[in-house]
Amino acid sequence: MLNLDSLDTLSQIAMRSVRQSDTRPTLLPDQKGHRYECQAWRFNGFSDSIIYRLTLDGGTFAIRSWPNRFDTPSKVAFWSGVNAAFSETPANLKGIGASSVTPFPSLYHWHPHGAPMLTLLHFEDHLWTLSDWVQGEPTAQKNVDKSLVQHLAAVLGRLHSNSVDALGQDGLPLGQQSIRSNSIRERLDVLKSLDHNLFSAIDEASFFSTYDLSDRVKHCIAIVFERGPDWHRFLKICVGQTRTCHWIVRDVWRENVLLNDTQRFSSIVDLGAARFDWPGLDFVRLFGSLSYGLKGGLITDADKKADLWVDAYAAYALEHSTHAIDSLEECQMLHFVSTGLSIVQWVQWIQGGTFDFKQLDRAQHVSDRISELCDQFLIEST
């Protein structure tokens, strides 16, 4: 965690960066004594990334940490390239009520003393990006209704449609193609590698005691093993098919989709998992995470859950070619399989020491996520 002195240093670097940015040359006058406020906004997801909100006289910006990994520079470069491509394409997200032509915050370059312009800053053993601050709140389960589902499906459909047009320009090798999906193959690989010792090796101390998670997790894993042969056949068929593929977000679940105060799309805030793959995976990720939040809690009514998927599919197909996602039933099945395998992976991560449970807030966050997955999976398995 950054201490106050290092955060102040990072804030000063960010101020100089914004002042020297070619994209905002008039926001900050070149004078001393700028007023600013930099505060932690939240820990982003489960990767220990931190987001700070920097408020200056000339605007509000986001400072985000990224893991200091070999693949982070390519991910951030991809983010920048995607935004540039979307900005240059005539058909944009404004056609469906979005406030920006691109679905992601705009990146700025850092300008530390004596260094050339760069997008990633290495500071305090993290990599940092500076971008526009996007107003909005993560999509909440309690606010999910038919209107929101249809709206977000239209946004996702337009996003995918634009990715074919925008990212296929200027020689970028990301236009629409028919290939086999790597992400579906990854799910099959997880299923193939299941260890039956996982069931007996669950350490009850690994889970927050207030949630009685151990019994529910064991129940879910037992269902995964029971359904495993059917899932294997399903995924093997899926892997063997060539699909219409293009650039997708892949981690477009509800908490990464920001809504404005009128419950309409504002931005997508994470591109760390983006890649070239089948667009149905974005559809499954987003509407799977919404399908158990219809107005105030878990959907136990099968008809309401089915209606949500049907409404989303119809709205999506109006914005993107129907052949991109041929089968709604396949998406629903893939969501169910993915939820079960996600529970397995959470257990593997915990037992592998991925998370530091000395931080109670983090333990609570992880427990909430696992509990949510178990609730959803157990309802859908009946």
DSSP 3-state of 54: strand
* Same domain (yes/no): 60, 159: no
189 or 170: whose pLDDT is higher? Answer: 189
State residue 27's pLDDT score.
46
* Same domain (yes/no): 86, 149: no
* pLDDT reading at 234 higher than 60: yes
* pLDDT reading at 171 higher than 60: no
The arithmetic mean of pLDDT across residues 33-42, rounded, is: 68
From CA 100, how far away is CA 162, in angstroms rounded?
A: 13
Cα angle 71, 75, 81 (rounded to 5 degrees) comes to 145
* Same domain (yes/no): 77, 142: no
At 199, is the pLDDT very low, low, confident or very high (cuts 50, 70, 90)?
low
* Same domain (yes/no): 190, 324: yes
* Same domain (yes/no): 86, 143: no
State residue 184's pLDDT score.
93
* Same domain (yes/no): 90, 120: yes
The arithmetic mean of pLDDT across residues 343-370, rounded, is: 76
The arithmetic mean of pLDDT across residues 326-351, rounded, is: 90
State residue 175's pLDDT score.
52
* Number of independent structural domains in the chain: 2
At 106, is the pLDDT very low, low, confident or very high (cuts 50, 70, 90)?
confident
From CA 371, how far away is CA 377, in angstroms rounded?
A: 10
Q: Provide the residue range defining the domain that includes 60.
A: 4-133
* Same domain (yes/no): 168, 51: no
- Looking at 85, 115, 133, the residue that finishes a domain is 133
* Same domain (yes/no): 110, 236: no
* pLDDT reading at 82 higher than 90: no
From CA 21, how far away is CA 15, in angstroms rounded?
A: 10
* pLDDT reading at 365 higher than 90: no
* Same domain (yes/no): 275, 214: yes
The arithmetic mean of pLDDT across residues 136-144, rounded, is: 85
At 279, is the pLDDT very low, low, confident or very high (cuts 50, 70, 90)?
very high
* Same domain (yes/no): 303, 321: yes
Q: Give the CATH number, domain containing residue 77.
A: 3.30.200
* Same domain (yes/no): 59, 186: no
pTM score = 0.85
State residue 166's pLDDT score.
65
State residue 303's pLDDT score.
59
Q: Give the CATH number, domain containing residue 336.
A: 3.90.1200.10
State residue 375's pLDDT score.
86
State residue 270's pLDDT score.
82
Cα angle 150, 328, 282 (rounded to 5 degrees) comes to 65
The arithmetic mean of pLDDT across residues 20-37, rounded, is: 56
From CA 191, how far away is CA 189, in angstroms rounded?
A: 5
From CA 177, how far away is CA 172, in angstroms rounded?
A: 13
* Same domain (yes/no): 98, 205: no
Share of the chain above pLDDT 70, in %: 76
What angle in degrees, to the nearest 10, is found between the helix axes of 328-351 and 182-192? Answer: 50
pLDDT tens digit sequence for 50-75: 788 888 877 889 998 888 888 888 88
* pLDDT reading at 223 higher than 70: yes
Query: Is 156 in contact with 286 (CB distance < 8 Å)?
Result: yes
282 or 112: whose pLDDT is higher? Answer: 282
Share of the chain above pLDDT 90, in %: 23
- Looking at 133, 149, 165, the residue that finishes a domain is 133
